[in-house]
């Protein structure tokens, strides 16, 4: 049943889903049109500037091009490029490639491959979303290579989709931006109504009420079972239905005709010049790695390891990569191959930042969230908040950005209805993570590493999303 549904959706999506860049352009136009049609433009409350259609259009254009518009994600884009580059370089090291090759040799069919990749991706997603993004992609690629080498027919789109599922559990994990931002009084004060903050005795919302709450343990525990099961059961049964998209071979992200890298020996004695000796010497690579490890040790000693963000993950991946490559030349060769996959990130992130700016500045997001809140009643509030958060995530794919916009509305509603703050925090978090399966924004590094296209995987990422919506809605309805 699931296999047939997956194939049907796959055929439909391959026919209608364009390149992710085109999707970003379409979303930009759709957001602008919706904002002009129904947005209330609260920031235009200026008697000298009437809210005519022309003025709204100019205001929207200014928001799109401004500092909080298309250029807002420049630093974030660099972080995401480093996620891709450092992860790719680490995976291409001889030591890590050997580990991945052995793990990738375990599956003997599309079903077992999809299930294994989903297990790895979701478990890693509990630890850190940035790590899950790169580990899931690399695992999917290596499993695809292994099955191809062994002559086992495999449906590569499903395997790649399984590698993306870590983004469906991340916000209930240790790197969830909404629950982590609420652990301090300062963070809570940004989104909670003043009367609620006054009664919190200068403390935030502890993790025992969010990530470590019984609600989240049930929701996330269920997803860890449901997602791999759905992906495994979605495997095509008939040989003619299998689409063995060739994964990129070792060495180059997104290129199937590359030759393996890293065959250059690391014997300093072979170098003809002092410069080449330095390039090949393990001492240089290990020195840089040691400095980074020392900095990470300081971070762990002065803060919480559970608050590690993209910067810390990238630093760790960089240091480990240098250490296992054992030479600067070897590492740079692998990193240069990974850089080729950054095109989509560099070109599309500005468009998504612009979408976010238009949706927020026009009041579109606030109107949507408030409309959902007004339609809620009693015990349905957490469930409706979850659904509205899933919809908002399509316009604001950044978890932290979405929390900044929707968090105050959700928590004000919770305060009026006397609903625990932790429940509403997690309801927004669950909505954000669920519709990541429809959002190509986060899939760009995965697509670059695996060589797949968005239209190849979106049908299969929809399946766990549907089951996830049913499961999370059920648990929120019963436990809240």
Structure tokens at 261: 């890298």
Kindly list the averaged pLDDT for each block of 10 residues, start to end, along the chain of length 480: 61 67 86 90 73 87 90 83 83 81 90 96 87 87 90 91 95 84 74 64 79 96 97 84 62 42 46 76 91 91 65 87 89 84 81 84 78 68 90 77 74 78 93 89 84 85 94 93
Cβ atoms of 355 and 28 within 8 Å: the answer is yes
Sequence ranges of the domains in the chain: 2-255+341-479, 268-340
> What local confidence, expressed as pLDDT, does residue 265 receive?
46
Structure tokens at 165: 């599922």
C-beta neighbour count of 7 within 10 angstroms: 21
Give the closest residue to 84 by CA, choosing from 284, 346, 299, 296. 346
Q: How far apart are CA 86 and CA 428, in angstroms?
A: 31
Q: How far apart are CA 421 and CA 410, in angstroms?
A: 9
Structure tokens at 128: 């850190």
* Cα–Cα distance list, 337 to 91, 93, 255, 341, 441 (Å): 12, 12, 9, 8, 22
First to last CA, the chain: 32
Structure tokens at 210: 């969010």
> What local confidence, expressed as pLDDT, does residue 251 receive?
46
> What local confidence, expressed as pLDDT, does residue 216 receive?
97
Cβ atoms of 200 and 184 within 8 Å: the answer is no
Query: HSE-up of 17 (CA within 13 Å, CB side)?
Result: 17
Q: How far apart are CA 22 and CA 7, in angstroms?
A: 24
């Amino acid at each position: 049943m699931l296999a047939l549904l997956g194939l049907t959706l796959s055929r439909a999506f391959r026919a209608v889903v364009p390149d992710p860049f085109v999707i970003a352009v379409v979303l930009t136009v759709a957001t602008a049109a919706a904002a002009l049609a129904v947005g209330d433009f609260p920031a235009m409350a200026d008697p000298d500037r009437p809210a005519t259609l022309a003025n709204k259009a100019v205001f929207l254009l200014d928001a799109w091009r401004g500092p909080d518009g298309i250029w807002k994600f420049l630093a974030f884009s660099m972080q995401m490029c480093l996620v891709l580059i450092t992860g790719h370089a680490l995976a291409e090291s001889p030591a890590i490639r050997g580990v991945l090759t052995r793990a990738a040799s375990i599956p003997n069919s599309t079903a077992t491959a999809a299930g294994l990749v989903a297990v790895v991706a979701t478990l890693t997603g509990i630890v850190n979303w940035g790590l899950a993004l790169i580990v899931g992609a690399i695992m999917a690629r290596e499993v695809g290579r292994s099955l191809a080498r062994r002559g086992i027919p495999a449906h590569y789109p499903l395997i790649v989709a399984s590698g993306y599922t870590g983004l469906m559990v991340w916000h209930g994990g240790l790197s969830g931006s909404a629950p982590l931002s609420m652990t301090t009084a300062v963070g809570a004060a940004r989104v909670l109504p003043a009367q609620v903050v006054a009664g919190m005795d200068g403390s935030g919302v502890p993790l025992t009420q969010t990530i470590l709450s019984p609600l989240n343990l049930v929701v996330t525990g269920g997803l860890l079972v449901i997602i791999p099961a759905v992906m495994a059961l979605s495997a095509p049964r008939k040989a003619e239905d299998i689409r063995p998209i060739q994964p990129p071979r070792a060495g180059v992200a997104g290129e199937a005709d590359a030759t393996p890298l890293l065959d250059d020996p690391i014997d300093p004695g072979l170098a003809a010049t002092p410069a080449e000796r330095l390039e090949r010497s393990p001492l240089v690579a290990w020195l840089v790695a040691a400095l980074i490890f020392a900095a990470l040790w300081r971070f762990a000693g002065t803060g919480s390891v559970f608050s590690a963000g993209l910067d810390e993950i990238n630093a760790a991946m960089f240091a480990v990569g240098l250490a296992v490559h054992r030479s600067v030349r070897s590492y740079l060769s692998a990193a240069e191959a990974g850089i080729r996959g950054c095109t989509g990130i560099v070109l599309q992130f500005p468009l998504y930042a612009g979408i976010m700016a238009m949706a927020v500045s026009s009041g579109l997001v606030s109107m949507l969230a408030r409309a959902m809140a007004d339609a809620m009643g009693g015990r349905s509030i957490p469930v409706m908040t979850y659904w509205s958060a899933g919809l908002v995530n399509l316009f604001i794919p950044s978890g932290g950005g979405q929390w900044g916009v929707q968090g105050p509305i959700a928590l004000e509603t919770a305060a009026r209805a006397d609903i625990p703050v932790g429940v509403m925090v997690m309801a927004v978090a669950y909505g954000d993570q669920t519709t990541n399966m429809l959002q190509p924004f986060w899939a760009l590094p995965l697509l670059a590493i695996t060589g797949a296209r968005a239209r190849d995987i979106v049908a299969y990422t929809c399946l766990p999303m549907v089951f996830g919506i049913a499961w999370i809605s059920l648990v929120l309805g019963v436990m809240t």
